[in-house]
Structure 1
Amino acid sequence: MASAVRDLELDLDAFEGPFDLLLTLLLKDAISPSEIDIADIVVAFVDRLAQRDELDLDACGEFLVLIAALLELKARQLFPEEDAELAELEPEEAAEELARRLAEYRRMKLAAQWLREQLEDQRERYFRLGPAPLAPEPERRLAAQEPLRLAEALRGLAVEPPHVSLSHMALRFPPVAQFVERFRALLRKRRVFDFDAEVHGLSRVEQAVAFLALLELRKEGEIALSQAAPFAPIRISRGEPAVAAAEDSRPDEGRMPQWNARSA
């Protein structure tokens, strides 16, 4: 290899040193070809040739071979699938495929250049957004309609909806006096009875009204309530109005006030 190529000093982003060392590192996979900028190597070699008085054709040929091999390595790394497809082709077919791809690349490059020129020429132009003022309005066509079906649908909407009864949502409270008379009649027959046994089978609302009747009778002093323990059955017995009346007839002097159902 010519001395001009072997001793070519490179100052790249991923490598700094002679070209010979760079090739060695690439062959040993110490440096990835994708990290090397081929254009910088070419510029460095051209600058090296410009410093000499005569053109070294041998060095140029060696450099072209090496730089082509480097480009092939980089292309195979960047496009592994395409490299596998080309490897299955014959030499003549591979050359034709390469020529086709180069022609396609040239067309894309020319198209990009044309788009860039158009962008530069029309940079000062502004386009109004929205439909064109003379754009034809599309004709709205309705499908064939049946007047009888439309009249039938309107007739169904005109019918008044059925009345919805809300009676099942109303709470009906029986009168308290009904249970008061019922408990008085029980006390005339029996001296003691259980509240739970008497309201068994009634609704929760009727049981609440029956309990209010008990409180009313207790307030009047007609009954006495007893319960052995919390949540135990409530026992109802006859009251002693005579004793209560005697206590009420005593003078208030020297007597401590006591709480009772009536004071509540």
Structure 2
Amino acid sequence: MTKRRKFILSSFILAVCLLVTQYIPVDFRFIGVAILFGISYAVSAWALSEDLKGIEWGTIIPVPALYSASVALFYYLLPQNTLARLLVLTIFGVGMYAVYLTSNIYSVAATRTIQLVRAAHAVGFVMTLLTLVLFFYTIYSLHLDWWANGPLVGLVSLPLVLSALWSVKLEERVSVKIIRYTVLIILGLVEVATAISFLPLTVWVSSLFMATVAYVGLGILQHDLSERLFERTLQEYIGIGIFVLLATMLVTRWK
């Protein structure tokens, strides 16, 4: 079976599994998501196994599995609208196929130079942010105590941030520099997630604000790892961060 057919079949299988999880009672939804995560990891490992080696089992495979889990959690929060659920299901399938294509490019590019790496980085960056947004939305929709939000944000962000930073150079090992940058971003996300828990922000505003923090942090450090962090690039990322911060303050209903 060709890789493309594997990716299409795997995306379809996981879309069906996602649909099945919605029939699991609400009290067992986290167990259902955990099972879906395991199935996604196994299916993704099969789909991408041809070129996977070494560290890639821990830097590439978790991404599609986490994407599945994030969509499944978000799926539970959707209104009982058949059209909306079918739309999300379709988007999930297309997104999963894109993740597989990106992961495959990373795996191949780790051993030889190919021209699609830059495009894969762009798609991978977008899918990472989308996955984070869905996780953040789920976390803040639970309305947990302030001390719980930070650790949960750090937990779901860690493998995604590590993978996003590793993908810049696609080395055989995770370097000390990447580990340091990962810790830096995770600490920043945890602190910001905890801080905004005290603000009267809506769930969507909180989620998008956290995604912006991840966007700025990942964007700057990815450019630094690729040795392309110019002054103008840094100013653009900081400018976006300041703009979103001000917009967040403006839309917040202060009491």
**Which TM class, normalised by the smaller chain length?**
under 0.3
User: Which has the greater radius of gyration?
Assistant: 1
Taking structure 1 as the reference length, the TM-score comes to: 0.21
TM-score (structure 2 length as normaliser): 0.21
- Structure in which a larger fraction of residues adopt helix: 2
Determine which structure has the larger strand proportion and give its number.
1
Q: Quick one: higher RCO (CA 8 Å, sep 6+), 1 or 2?
A: 2
